[in-house]
Each structure stands twice: as structure tokens, then as C-alpha cells.
A = this chain, B = another copy of it.
Amino acid sequence: MKRYGMVIKVKPGMADEYIRLHADVWPGVLEAIKKSNIKNYSIYFKDDLLFSYYEYTGNDYDADMKEMAENPIIQEWWDKCVPLLLPFPGVADGDVWCEMDEVFHTD
């Protein structure tokens, strides 16, 4: 299992819409997350910051992420979410969320 911590900002005035969408995530999005071997996935909010934490339990992360990105429901979902977000400068090409470095972990 590999843990991921990701960060992004929400555009000014867009937090309420982001929170509203995530209070009632579409069933097809939840299914796609599960199918991509992502578990224990949380998103946290403070001021203009969003942080996400999840655990990847598969054995080909890039392939699972590619399959998720090609899912039409996920594309429709991202069409709603991505315009609300302000990616960090220098985020990897094609990515939206920025991967953080794990500096500590204890089970």
C-alpha cells in the first residue's frame, strides 16, 4: 500500500461550490475510485486550501490513474470540479493536484 498526500487551492469564492459538490459525490465517481484501487480517501478544507489523503492498494498506479482519467463519468465530474481549482505552480504536466512529500509516518 502506498499513501498519497496532495494539495491544491480553491479559487476565490469557489469553496462553497466545491464543498457542495463533494457533500454528494456521484455514485459513478465513487465506483471509479474503488475500481482504481484507491482506499480511505479524504479531502480536507481550510481557507483556500484543499488537502487530500488516500491509500493506493493496487500494483500499477499509472495504469489505474489513466483508466480513471478515461472514464466518461470522471471526465464529467472533473469538468465540474477543475474550474473551481487553482493548481500549484510547477505541478506535474497533466496533473491538477500537487503531490506532497511524506516527511513522517507512524502506523
Residue ranges of A at the interface with B (Cβ–Cβ < 8 Å):
3, 5, 7, 18-19, 22-23, 25, 30, 33-34, 39-47, 49-51, 53, 88, 98-107
Contacts and interface: CB of A to CB of B under 8 A. Distances in A.
5 contacts: A39-B107, A41-B104, A42-B104, A43-B105, A44-B100
A105 to B, nearest CB: 5
Each complex incorporates copies of this chain amounting to 2
Contacts of A99: 46
A7 B51 contact: yes
Contact of A22 (B5, B45, B103): B103
A102 B44 contact: yes
A79 B99 CA distance: 29
